[in-house]
Structures are given as C-alpha cells and as structure tokens.
Chain A
Amino acid sequence: MQQVMFIVISAVTLISGALVVTTRSLFRSALWLVLAFFGIAGLFVLLNAEFLAVAQILIYVGAISILIIFAIMLSRGVMDPETRRFNDQWGVVAGFTAVLLVLLVAILTRVQWPLAAGAVPADAIQRLGADFVGPYVIPFEVASVLLVAAMIGAIIIAREREN
C-alpha cells in the first residue's frame, strides 16, 4: 500500500514539476509549483517526517509561493491580456527536462546510499528541538543572521528602486 502511495505522490510531484517549466502562462506555472510543493510534503509524510511535512506546507505553500507569485506580478505587463506572458521556449525546456530526468535516474540508481537503521523515534520533534540548541546550535544562530541579512538586502534593493 505504501508503495502505491509513493508512486502516486512521486508521479504527481514529478509531473507538476515538469509542467512548471513547460506551461505557457507564467501564473499557471506558479500554481503547478504549488502542487509540486504539496507532493513533496506528501513524500515527507511517507518518510514519517510529519513536522517537515507541515513545515513544508506552511513555508513553501504559504509563504514562498506567494512571494514567487508577487515577483511574477512585479514584472510589467504580465496582467495585460494582450501580452500574457507566454513561455516561448517550452519545447527546448521540455527536451532538456527529459534529458535531466534520464541523467538523474541513471546516477541515483547507481549510488550506494547509506541507510539509517531502525525506525523513526516517537519523540522525533523533541530530538529536533534538542538538536537545534545542542549539537547544531551554530547553524541555528547563523540561520537567523542569514534571514535578517536577506530581509535587509531586499529592503535596500526595494528602497533604491523607489528612489
């Protein structure tokens, strides 16, 4: 049963991912991206990583796809029905995507992946929290610095554009 779910969810994710780059309307490709994000969340659930699944939906669907859609809107003329932005190179892109798919499958099936033994512990989220302030505290703090840096950078660029 789990195999079936895995195949279905992976198919959804991969197909919507391919549609992101080959769809003709920019807005629609953003929507396909949202579907791909949902698919990834489903994959996280299948891996028993429920916190990551909800975090994926919360951040990617809830925030980042909105950001991407807003960025699309910022490009001028996207809403003018006469010049609806069309993806003219979709043929080339589709071909390239197919080549990339074959390449990735070939590589991924040949690598010996180190598999962690045992099941996911029941208190996975507590361990995650403990690890944030324990062994991985430096990346944790650096993450906050990175976030603030991104925010400051974007504000500076936006302000410059206005002045």
Chain B
Amino acid sequence: MNVSILTICYIIGSVTFILGLKLLSNPATARKGNLIAAGGMFIAILGTIFLYEENGSKLGNYAWIFGGLLIGSVIGTLAARKVKMTAMPEMVSLFNGMGGACAALISLVEFNHISKELAVNNSSEYVNSIQPTVLIIVLGLIIGAVSFAGSMIAWGKLNGKVKDFSFTGQNILNLILLAVALGAGVYLVIDPINSYLIYVILALALVYGVLFVMPIGGADMPVVISLLNSFTGVAAAFGGFLYDNKVMLTGGILVGAAGTLLTILMCKAMNRSLLNVLVGSFGGSNSSAATGGKDQGHYKEISLSDAATIMSYANKVLIVPGYGLAVAQAQHSCHELEKILNEKGVEVKYAIHPVAGRMPGHMNVLLAEADVSYEKLLEMEQANDEFKTTDVVLILGANDVVNPAAKNDTASPIYGMPILEVELAKNIIVNKRSMKPGYAGIENDLFFQPKTSMLFGDAKKVLQDLLSEIKNV
C-alpha cells in the first residue's frame, strides 16, 4: 500500500519535472513552471522519507535526515536570497557542484556497504551478482566528482578567485587521468574486493575535474557550467539506476539531455564547437595571429556632452549591453538613461546578443532587475532589422558580438558567428574601458569606422555622467 502511494508520488514528481521544464520555455509561464517542479520535488522527497521501504523495512535516522534537510534549506535559501543578480551564474555553478558532490557521496556509501558484504561473502555468485551495481557506483562516482570539482573551479573563476592556468601537455595529461580513472573503475568492477580503488578513482576524478576546467577562459564558463549541469543530471540518473528509482532516473536523464543540448546551443551562438571550447584556449592560441595583421587606422573619441546631444536629438536609440555592463553593474543607470531619453521623446530599445554577458540570457535577467520592460528587449534578429532605422547605437562594454569581422573577414577566428549588425545605424557610440581587444583577442574594425566614436570609462560612471549631461541639454 505504502509502496503504491510512493510510486504515485514519484510519478507526480516525474510529470512535474517535464511540465516544469516545458513551462519554463515561455516567459509568461516560466515562474509557474519552476514552482510546479519544486512542488513535485517536495512531494517526491516527503514520499521517500515516510513511505520508502527496502526489504520490508522503513528508513530510520529521521533526526539525521531532518537535520540535514533543515541545515541545507536554511543555507540554500539564505544564499539564494542574498546573492546579487550579477553573481547569479556563479551561484548556479555552486549549487550544481553540491549536487555532484551529493551523487559522489552516495556512491561512496553504497560501495562501502558492498565491500562490507564482500568481506563476509566472497563467493563468485555474489561477486557476479553485484558487478552491475559496482559499475553504476563507479560511473556515478566519477561523474559526480568531476562535476563537483569542475563546478567549484568554475565558481572560483567567475568570482575572480581562481585564475586561468594551463601548461603544455595538459590535454594529454587530462586524457591520461581520465583513462586511468576509468581503467581503475573497470578493474574494480572485475574484482570488487580491491575496495581501496574506490578512493583512488575518487581522487583521480577530482583532479581531472579541476584540470579540466582550469585552462578554460572565464568567458567560456557559461558553456562549462551548462555542461557540468548535464553531468550532474547524469550522475543523478545513475543514482536512479542504483535504487531502481524512476523519479531520480527521469529527472536526471531529462536534465542530462536538456543540459547537453543547451550547451551545444551556447557553443553554436559563439560559432565554436564544444571540443574547441574544452580543448583549445581560444584567446591564447589565436590572438597573436589575428592582431598582428593589418593597420587599423585611427579611432576617434567623443566627449560626454556631444554624446548627450546626439542622443537627445535622436529619434531612436538602441542600447547594446555586454559583459562590461555586467561587470560595472550599470543596469540601473542604463534604465535611468532610457527613462530620461523617453521623456525627451526618444525611442529607446535594447539589442541583446544571445551570448552577451556571462551566460545566455544574462543580460535579460540583469536588465529585468533594473525594471526594464520585457518588450524593449530585442533578440538578435529583431534588432538587426531595426538598426537601419536607428539614429544612435550605444554599445556598453560589448565587443566581439558587434565585430563586423564575423561577417566580412574569412580569416578571422570569429568568422561566421552571428553578430549584431550595428554598423547599419547612423551613429555608433562605443563605451569601453580601453582599446583592449575583447575575449576573442582580436581587434574590432568597427571602432575605426568613421561613424563610430569611442567613449572610454567604466560603464556605470560614464552612464551617470551622460545622464547629468542629458539633463542639461
């Protein structure tokens, strides 16, 4: 009876996960989707605590279980409530790492049970019967540990605590590490009595996770986090195999598949293959070849008052936010600018490149935080239609996503990447901190075109100065 109710709980859980992800795909229903999935999770968790039975006996240690749930809930809620919008991506990475660690710990404890049994019963029938279980445990452990270690490094990189680090032969070393870990895993499956190997595998997987993410540049972290997210999904699914638990299985595989697709979509938006992100450090290898090329000529600067004037008398202004806006946390100043220009009868919209910022959709979240209305955010295709009729494009800390080389220069490393075609507009004002190249490490011809002018400085400060200038116009 109890087991049947638990099965129903799990079915509800699985359905809400699918439904939740589906509703998350539409801005109008997204929040509901998240709450539905959370509700399903709650039912599945409660059902497990009170109804789960194995060989006729119920779960014990309620004090430990509720203690853990309470501690986790309090810390999780506080951390999630307190975090700044700009720090959202690293928060996701951190939580993802927790899930990976959880999967790895489950594997460790389950293996510990098995090796205790083995110490008593070493018959070949018993060994044969547990081999599939050991395989699942080993795979869950490797994937969970890689996901945990990788997510911690990604988290550290995004908040600036961990610097890029690579050495020659690192890729080969990584492959060797992974091969040794898998080899040890196979050996353990064949001969499960060598229980110490589980710790060797754990250590190798952790080192692999660290070295795997270390050389990848900070701007590629979204792709890495998305990939690690799907890894954790797969690790959770292995937990489902282990306990023959359908809700873990469906939830895990769902996230594994969706996360992998999302990762590929992100890579596509940057015109790179996943392999290239993971193996090649893009900026390092290509920059020298690309920058050494032709003489770019001169760029011109624009004064704040001039910039204020042409924007105040424009009919339509499009703002292109980028990484620089996120770093300077200038989203509120940006919205101020929009409001003050609106009062002067200027139409203001935002052109959002799919990979602007630190994560796809990051700019939307940031601008939403500053109360910018959803209708004013144009996706790339819409924006490209509107640039022709735009008087002023204001680029705030974006670079590669507006580089015309992606369209014109077949030799450019970013050739073929879809970009915002800002050069169709009448005037272009570029706010950057310096002339330093963007993440791809290449010069941007746009900055040297006659209709482009540069406005140097931190995005937030420049916007605030611009605001006071516009008030004076």
A, B from the same assembly: no
**Which residues does A use to contact B, with CB under 8 Å?**
none
**Which residues does B use to contact A, with CB under 8 Å?**
none
